[in-house]
Structure 1
């Protein structure tokens, strides 16, 4: 059908439960949409379209040529995840638009879920538009008020910022202090922010803006018109300033809006995963969650070194390390790695990450050096074959580390050889890094060129049955559903910054609402020595947390890849608390959010996959708070032993971070807990079903 008019409404759409409503309108030839939740405005009139380079824009002059609606309902099972079963239930509106003068076709597909919206642009094969270059995507998100927001500055190269909490109208004035230093950064405008953006309206709506299924396209930021409270998409450019090279048939990533009047629903939303395609692999037996330790934290704190020598300059294939003097600080040496392997084997860890094992670390940073690593040549004190065999004899794998130093074309030059080296030496997972400015020079971490590289590395790794944990890469957008060997990302300010001056105390009460909306994060928790000077007297940083909260992060910061990041000798002094790290699961059958308020606190309960055991974690901000939870997620009629790892009464992240207490209770589905949480604190609970009555003798009932 062909619909022409000054204002043309397509068929309105409601979510399966009827509480979320979408309307599409072609207004004077301009595509617009509206979104509401329980009768409240979420997205006001917002325009859609594209500015193109050297071609007429796809913004106005459209006719509505087709409208289709559909419903979809399935339940699927992820390879790993927060739930054994995930429901994908939505109603869909598809509109086909033809630009009257150019006869070019642009389709828009909307999917409306109970907890929000996803929409994307689709360009079918057509005679009048095959190749085109995006100057800018003009997707708008018009806010209904001056919401409270949790944001980080828009940047083409990094997400490693602390979050700022402010009104939307205050973002511009706070931008100069929100932008802090990084090894590679390109803030793009004021006021611009990154997704996932978390907001709360004055009338109690929680709103999250993000994207899903980012493939062959530039990462989206949000540029704010703070006079009208309208966000507009802002794509990451390439070295020439172009935003995307497209060839029809093609499509954009999904733009997502999650909305609820309960913050817990945002954390429980699976919109991002559901908008990605099903698993691309027939064989997934080689993909498995990993709990690991690593030779890492001592280097981050400055106690040790990645580099083998103190030479100011080295060249691969030319520098003879056997003739150079070691610096006696190199951490990735045979003796130390064997000690970590022994510790991992004794305490049931799957793998040991070793950074700094390969030649080239002396002058890798900040030099814009192309041929910096070859990813296969070890330093003289790292015996690959011996350590491979030793780890294997202990039932432990070594985890590979590939730092590219931003030299992406060098990584691709060596990638097949590096992955084959891993396969030959019993490595099945790799932590990759992209610290520094990108080579080819002028490209950004979040542009289309780099997005395609990350995808290439992921799919290439799958050919060798290798799992990827990418650091400094583009933020995740749910691709782990399609490519489950993407078992981790960093893409945010993680624990390492605690050794670089510290993260905001409320940081981990925000990240699940922002960074984790796209997928799991390798946050590297488990720091038991908050005073960094104990490792390096020249480093006065403090980890802004209590030990109890470090335990909680294994539950609140979801990842199938979890690290016990501190040193073995430190854990040896706190083996009673370390027991929780040993016990906690990393793959789940079910997840519940018991309490949640962004920036203040989050309490998760998760059921271990294939087990009756549950684990609870609570992360708290800088205020003393009392957590009150019910155990009604437990199976009625059964008894459990709950081991509670909590802040002591006088605990405080700054003055008394190591003060914790461990108590045991007998609990049932009717039990309740009221637990004090210190500033920067929290608690963790392991809950195990009672098998024998004798197991609960002398244990207090809760």
Structure 2
């Protein structure tokens, strides 16, 4: 009897194994492998250097009619390999290598699964090919690990949209009711980092990760439900808070692609400082002409409370103040001036403030060759969208700063694309604040030039932004795309002396820490947060900020450890910018610079002063000419014959070197 049972069990296992099929793609460098097993359900696993990192994990798309993408027989598979270059309109490099292997698996029931493996990461997405519209009840996405690893992320307890919070590191078992925003990183053994994100997110809710209470060492996806009822609330009623939801997450077209689920694995932590996988997987733009999109810097009014000194008028939201900002921008080669809250009624964009003369401001900016960007509440814009954008186009406004969405359910994600599309028709830039993380929209619509989605410098007006937080951002937040942190504080306080001041805010960390953000943080549209009259007192800082690029021809990660320190080199033309940041601890190291090709460079560097640990504004600036092949140099900070650069940072410190090729 026992033998019979064992025989039946063996036959059942053989039958199951025969039915289960594995399909896989491997990255061109052979380091990453994404494998799909199709049997009773669909599961995936991810290998790195021939070791399984993501254990078999179930994936499926659940429709409200009981139909499921993930339980059908395979009908066809199609493979292809691509090896080309993408030349973005702007980015961290003038071109991105786009080399991947792809497999599309068609299933009975009108759906497919696309698998892709780049050297930078692996990804999969569902593709639907049904005639009628469909309603998605839920998407099941697991991340099963072999241990209770630590997990570094942004997020909140029992709430979505925690992008404007600080990074936390917890073990998976301690996540409890924590809703983790993407990108997040799992810190695996042997210094391996697993970054999880998503891209190509259209007409679909954003994905979060929570602890999977059904399995140990496991994470599972969580999505905002479809909103049925909203009500104004939050700060000044600028948000639309969801009061009632449906029992599904999306209602959408039956023929479409769904978002890519992205997993990047590396044992070279610094490589996360320049990983374009989210951009590479995103839809490319239509063949429309976007040559009018111009990255650049912005003189910003709100953080410094429109405060000017030494002028003969009362500064504030008024015509005289904005004309001063425009003069400052024109004099220093700053392309844009932002008119933030106050230029109009927050709930009616056609009701202008009686404190400003908009035609006069517009005419003055045009005369000075400075472009204007206008701030607005998102649902006010949505209500007045075509008429408002038409008016901005007539005014010759360059762009809009759209704020306080603070949601990423399906209707709000549709709003993002609607604004991007309609603004592009009128040649308007879009800077999303109060936003979710970027998910590739800026590739499809290059006029989407920046996103906030960060606990940035604005928080220092009422809270603390620690250097430790800054040393997470280039690894994780910039992994998703551009980031409007809004750096540039002139009042730089040591860790002990920092305090929040709403009207005259400061930054925590040294002057060089603040300067280094302009190189270490990627922001095609980069705000200068402080007042023009404060910058005019700080000529070294102003000269640097006037010249530092916001987009780059080449980026090379040099050093880095998540949450501790980093160093990166970026090139624009013949000039290299090398910058470093540290957390609340001092840091000293040598950087190798083998990429330098010229024989002679003029090097200007900004280094923390010897007392910068007590006086945050203490710094040293020095300029010298250096010849690469000389045997010795007069200053230990400059590259020697073997092309190294010595970096020394105080607690909360930074470092910047500008190398101009004189050949």
Sort the TM-score into its range (normalised by shorter chain). 0.7 to 0.9
In the alignment, the residues of structure 1 paired with residue 270 and residue 290 of structure 2 have an alpha-carbon distance, to the nearest angstrom, of 31
In the alignment, the residues of structure 2 paired with residue 91 and residue 531 of structure 1 have an alpha-carbon distance, to the nearest angstrom, of 50
Please, which of 381, 388, 391 is the counterpart of residue 418 of structure 1? Answer: 388
In the alignment, the residues of structure 2 paired with residue 525 and residue 626 of structure 1 have an alpha-carbon distance, to the nearest angstrom, of 24
In the alignment, the residues of structure 2 paired with residue 213 and residue 537 of structure 1 have an alpha-carbon distance, to the nearest angstrom, of 39
**Structure 2 residue 17 is matched with structure 1 residue 43:** no
**Structure 2 residue 227 is matched with structure 1 residue 221:** no
Residue 66 of structure 2 is matched in structure 1 by 55
Query: 2:446 is paired with a residue of what secondary structure?
Result: coil
Distance 1:58 1:14, change over 3 A: closer
In the alignment, the residues of structure 1 paired with residue 437 and residue 464 of structure 2 have an alpha-carbon distance, to the nearest angstrom, of 21
Query: 1:547: how far off?
Result: 1.0
Per-residue CA shift, 1:380-408, capped at 9, x if unaligned? 2211111111122222122212223xxx2
Residue 437 of structure 2 is matched in structure 1 by 475
Residue 304 of structure 2 is matched in structure 1 by 298
Instruction: Kindly indicate whether the alpha-carbon contact (under 8 Å) linking 1:162 and 1:504 is maintained by their aligned counterparts in 2.
Output: no
Query: 1:136 is paired with a residue of what secondary structure?
Result: strand
What TM-score do you get using the length of structure 1 for normalisation?
Answer: 0.82
In the alignment, the residues of structure 1 paired with residue 146 and residue 604 of structure 2 have an alpha-carbon distance, to the nearest angstrom, of 45
From the two aligned structures, give the one with the greater strand fraction.
2
Per-residue CA shift, 1:413-432, capped at 9, x if unaligned? 31222222222222111111
Per-residue CA shift, 1:542-564, capped at 9, x if unaligned? 52121101111111110111111
Query: 1:538: how far off?
Result: 7.1
In the alignment, the residues of structure 2 paired with residue 191 and residue 261 of structure 1 have an alpha-carbon distance, to the nearest angstrom, of 27
Query: 1:534: how far off?
Result: 11
**Structure 2 residue 323 is matched with structure 1 residue 333:** no
Query: 2:138 is paired with a residue of what secondary structure?
Result: strand
Residue 393 of structure 1 is matched in structure 2 by 367
Please, which of 150, 168, 171 is the counterpart of residue 148 of structure 1? Answer: 150
**Structure 2 residue 515 is matched with structure 1 residue 551:** yes
In the alignment, the residues of structure 2 paired with residue 450 and residue 352 of structure 1 have an alpha-carbon distance, to the nearest angstrom, of 27
Aligned 1:58-457 pairs, distance under 5 A = 58-60=69-71, 62-98=72-108, 104-125=109-130, 130-153=132-155, 155-172=159-176, 190-225=177-212, 228-239=216-227, 240-241=245-246, 242-299=248-305, 331-360=316-345, 372-404=346-378, 408=379, 410-434=380-404, 445-457=407-419
**Structure 2 residue 568 is matched with structure 1 residue 604:** yes
Instruction: Kindly indicate whether the alpha-carbon contact (under 8 Å) linking 2:90 and 2:552 is maintained by their aligned counterparts in 1.
Output: yes
Residue 25 of structure 2 is matched in structure 1 by 13
Residue 534 of structure 2 is matched in structure 1 by 570
Aligned residues: 609
Query: 1:678: how far off?
Result: 1.4
Instruction: Kindly indicate whether the alpha-carbon contact (under 8 Å) linking 2:588 and 2:648 is maintained by their aligned counterparts in 1.
Output: yes
In the alignment, the residues of structure 1 paired with residue 337 and residue 582 of structure 2 have an alpha-carbon distance, to the nearest angstrom, of 30
Per-residue CA shift, 1:160-191, capped at 9, x if unaligned? 1111123323333xxxxxxxxxxxxxxxxx13
Residue 610 of structure 2 is matched in structure 1 by 649
Distance 1:540 1:298, change over 3 A: closer
**Structure 2 residue 427 is matched with structure 1 residue 465:** yes
Query: 1:12: how far off?
Result: 3.1
Query: 1:468 is paired with a residue of what secondary structure?
Result: strand
Distance 1:418 1:625, change over 3 A: same
Per-residue CA shift, 1:312-361, capped at 9, x if unaligned? xxxxxxxxxxxxxxxx987221111111111111111111111134343x
Query: 1:537: how far off?
Result: 6.6
Query: 1:526: how far off?
Result: 0.8
In the alignment, the residues of structure 1 paired with residue 368 and residue 268 of structure 2 have an alpha-carbon distance, to the nearest angstrom, of 47
Instruction: Kindly indicate whether the alpha-carbon contact (under 8 Å) linking 1:525 and 1:550 is maintained by their aligned counterparts in 2.
Output: yes
Instruction: Kindly indicate whether the alpha-carbon contact (under 8 Å) linking 2:173 and 2:216 is maintained by their aligned counterparts in 1.
Output: no
Instruction: Kindly indicate whether the alpha-carbon contact (under 8 Å) linking 1:212 and 1:478 is maintained by their aligned counterparts in 2.
Output: yes
Query: 1:71: how far off?
Result: 0.9
Residue 680 of structure 1 is matched in structure 2 by 652
Instruction: Kindly indicate whether the alpha-carbon contact (under 8 Å) linking 1:146 and 1:201 is maintained by their aligned counterparts in 2.
Output: no
In the alignment, the residues of structure 2 paired with residue 281 and residue 329 of structure 1 have an alpha-carbon distance, to the nearest angstrom, of 48
Please, which of 622, 629, 651 is the counterpart of residue 663 of structure 1? Answer: 622
Distance 1:538 1:356, change over 3 A: closer
Per-residue CA shift, 1:67-124, capped at 9, x if unaligned? 22211111121001111111111111222223xxxxx233111001112201100111
Instruction: Kindly indicate whether the alpha-carbon contact (under 8 Å) linking 2:304 and 2:504 is maintained by their aligned counterparts in 1.
Output: no
Comparing 581-590 and 412-421, the one that deviates more:
412-421
Distance 1:12 1:423, change over 3 A: closer
Query: 1:595: how far off?
Result: 0.8
In the alignment, the residues of structure 1 paired with residue 445 and residue 416 of structure 2 have an alpha-carbon distance, to the nearest angstrom, of 12
Query: 2:57 is paired with a residue of what secondary structure?
Result: strand
Query: 1:146: how far off?
Result: 2.6
Comparing 110-119 and 221-230, the one that deviates more:
221-230
Residue 593 of structure 2 is matched in structure 1 by 631
Please give the root-mean-square deviation of Cα atoms over the aligned residues, in Å. Answer: 2.4
Query: 1:536: how far off?
Result: 9.2
Query: 1:265: how far off?
Result: 2.0
Distance 1:494 1:538, change over 3 A: closer
Instruction: Kindly indicate whether the alpha-carbon contact (under 8 Å) linking 2:297 and 2:334 is maintained by their aligned counterparts in 1.
Output: yes
Aligned 1:610-629 pairs, distance under 5 A = 611-629=573-591
Distance 1:206 1:551, change over 3 A: same
In the alignment, the residues of structure 2 paired with residue 471 and residue 574 of structure 1 have an alpha-carbon distance, to the nearest angstrom, of 29
Query: 2:536 is paired with a residue of what secondary structure?
Result: helix
In the alignment, the residues of structure 2 paired with residue 287 and residue 144 of structure 1 have an alpha-carbon distance, to the nearest angstrom, of 47
In the alignment, the residues of structure 2 paired with residue 381 and residue 276 of structure 1 have an alpha-carbon distance, to the nearest angstrom, of 43
Distance 1:536 1:424, change over 3 A: farther
Distance 1:265 1:448, change over 3 A: same
In the alignment, the residues of structure 1 paired with residue 218 and residue 119 of structure 2 have an alpha-carbon distance, to the nearest angstrom, of 24
**Structure 1: segments with no counterpart, 5+ residues:** 99-103, 173-189, 305-327, 361-371, 436-443, 692-702
Instruction: Kindly indicate whether the alpha-carbon contact (under 8 Å) linking 2:493 and 2:510 is maintained by their aligned counterparts in 1.
Output: no
In the alignment, the residues of structure 1 paired with residue 601 and residue 390 of structure 2 have an alpha-carbon distance, to the nearest angstrom, of 47
In the alignment, the residues of structure 1 paired with residue 180 and residue 491 of structure 2 have an alpha-carbon distance, to the nearest angstrom, of 34
Query: 1:270: how far off?
Result: 1.7
